[in-house]
Amino acid sequence: MPKAFSRLAKSQGKSVFVDQSIHNGWTLGRHAESEQTLQKIRERKWDIVVLQEQSTIPAKSRIERELLMYPPLRKLAGEIRRQGALPILYQTWGRRDHFLPMNARIRAGYREAAKDAGGIAVVPVGDAWEKAILAGKGSDLFMKDGSHPTVAGNSLTARTFLGFVYP
């Protein structure tokens, strides 16, 4: 998605620099303890740093989120703010086979975590996916695994980010 966002932004005359610290399956907790991630936050003068939790954690119970998500999010958001950047949360989406109930839990999870971490903005990507699905336009968003995005899913996600960053 970062590449799709960068291409879209540049096609609209926006000057952006995008980088990432990603590791398959990592949680915010793992990132909060990773010197590699912390160094990435510290190495540049970022305007925005996007944080995304591992896909199922925001959909867990409030108690589980309070244990697994809130402390590392507060730590990472604090580090990002100390560097002069704005932390934002990337609200992901529910899995295809139980999309609506999972998406509702993810939305609530990200909103509650954002509030707990001092009022972090949330990019409502899952909401954009829900709108497309409810309009009958969501069949091509998911890869065969029912979780990860296709090119069309990445495009919708990039457009949602662009509209959020450049309203």
Closest to 21 measured CA to CA, from 4, 46, 5, 38: 38
Distance set, CA 32 to CA 36, 37, 52, 63 (Å):
10, 7, 12, 20
- 104 and 120 in contact (C-beta within 8 Å)? no
Residue boundaries of the structural domains of the chain? 2-6+44-165
Tokens for 92?
């992901």
pLDDT tens for the chain, 167 residues long, are: 889 999 999 999 999 999 999 888 899 999 999 999 999 999 999 999 999 999 899 999 999 999 999 999 999 999 999 999 999 999 999 999 999 999 999 999 999 999 999 999 999 999 999 999 999 998 899 999 999 999 999 999 999 999 999 99
CATH code of the domain occupying 2-6+44-165: 3.40.50.1110
Distance of CA 49 to the CA centre of its chain: 10
